[in-house]
Amino acid sequence: MVKVRAHSNIALVKYWGKRHIPLNIPAVGSISITLDALYTDTAVVFDPSLTEDRLVLNGIPAKEKESRRVSAFLDRVRKMAGRDDFARIESVNNFPTAAGLASSASAFAALALAATRAAGLTLSPPELSVLARIGSGSAARSLFGGFVQMHRGERDDGRDAYAEPLYKGDYWPLRVIIAVTAEGPKKTGSTDGMEHSRLTSPYYEAWVSDSQKDIDAMREALKNKDFERLADISEYSCLKMHALAMSGRPGLIYWNDRTLELLHWVRARRAEGWPVFFTIDAGPQLKVICPEDYGERVGALLREHPAVERIIESSLGNDARVMDE
């Protein structure tokens, strides 16, 4: 049995849209940060006595849809390894699933590393990232810690669409405070939302064509440790992504009233001189990012804010790693 821990991530330059759905090839590149406090632990063992794959999620046998998705992923691993035996998979998230906190990213990153090692494979980082991406687009980034770039790639087979680390987390210590505004899964998943935007938004092509400018600007901000530029680009990319989702027909609104209230709260603090900014993925949870030494003060204020159900605090996380083998 091989057990792996992989961490969730949040994109600062957003990923929204696929140019090939079955292979999860992104329409745009992205840059993310990996979160130490949010992770998935996944254990995999191939067992010749099994007649089918057996998946347990958070201690409960998985539903048919989830099992099919994981078995299809494992079929790729089996083909690469030249084996046909089924596997037992046990996976546990330490945070809510399908709530805008990138649970599928850490889950498929952990599964990719655990399954390949259990099957006797040792893939290069780009190869492993490509495999994880097929399971979940954002999982390609969760294999790496710190600051990570996902390449859009140009090939039809997606072999050049992979993530690579830019800087370790200690290069620029940041604190992420997740303001949870609503519990439970979102109504529209990311993949469905991306395709809806592609098919119905008049702004989709502009979103795709403009994305590389944000990647280049963010890389420069990270190189110079320019917090103001980091904040500006992150909020700009976030609001563009949600404007795109809202411009579909019908529009997709992932926020709730509390999300918007907290967005204005962050902007007000920044106007007062606080080094803080927000980002929001496909869900109602708002993430506040600040230098590590401001984290305690920002967290204390958010913990008492009436729009916040609870907070999750995190530093930047490390690479996915094998825990037991």
SS (H, E, C) 211-243: HHHHHHHHHHHHHHCCHHHHHHHHHHHHHHHHH
Nearest to 285 by CA among 308, 313, 268: 308
> What pLDDT does residue 95 have?
78
Q: Alpha-carbon dihedral of residues 201, 236, 192, 138, nearest 10 degrees?
A: 150
Burial of 34 (0-12, 13-18, 19+ CB in 10 A): buried
> What pLDDT does residue 103 have?
82
Cα 158–Cα 241–Cα 143 angle in degrees, nearest 5: 45
Beta bridge partners of 274: none
Predicted structure pTM score: 0.95
CA 279 – CA 267 distance, rounded (Å): 12
> What pLDDT does residue 325 have?
66
Give me the tens of pLDDT residue by residue for the chain, a chain 325 residues long: 999 999 999 999 999 999 999 999 999 999 999 999 999 999 999 999 999 999 999 999 999 999 999 999 999 999 999 999 999 999 999 876 654 455 889 999 999 999 999 999 999 999 999 999 999 999 999 999 999 999 999 999 999 999 999 999 999 999 999 999 998 888 898 899 999 999 999 999 999 999 999 999 999 999 999 999 999 999 999 999 999 999 999 999 999 999 999 999 999 999 999 999 999 999 999 999 999 999 999 999 999 999 999 999 999 999 999 996 6
For each of the domains in the chain, give its residue range(s) and CATH number, in order of start. Answer: 2-171 (3.30.230.10), 174-314 (3.30.70.890)
Percent pLDDT > 70 in the chain is 97
Convert the pLDDT of each residue in 50-79 to its tens digit: 999 999 999 999 999 999 999 999 999 999
Nearest to 87 by CA among 4, 7, 23, 2: 2
> What pLDDT does residue 101 have?
54
Distances in Å between the Cα of 160 and the Cα atoms of 21, 84, 211, 261, 290 are 16, 28, 17, 40, 33
CA 16 – CA 29 distance, rounded (Å): 9
Structure tokens at 252: 């997709």
CA 75 – CA 79 distance, rounded (Å): 6
Query: Do residues 168 and 277 touch, judged by C-beta distance below 8 A?
Result: no
Locate all alpha helices (DSSP H) within the chain, ordered by sequence: 64-81, 103-118, 125-135, 139-142, 190-200, 204-224, 227-246, 257-271, 295-303
DSSP class of 157: T
Convert the pLDDT of each residue in 246-272 to its tens digit: 999 999 999 999 999 999 999 999 999
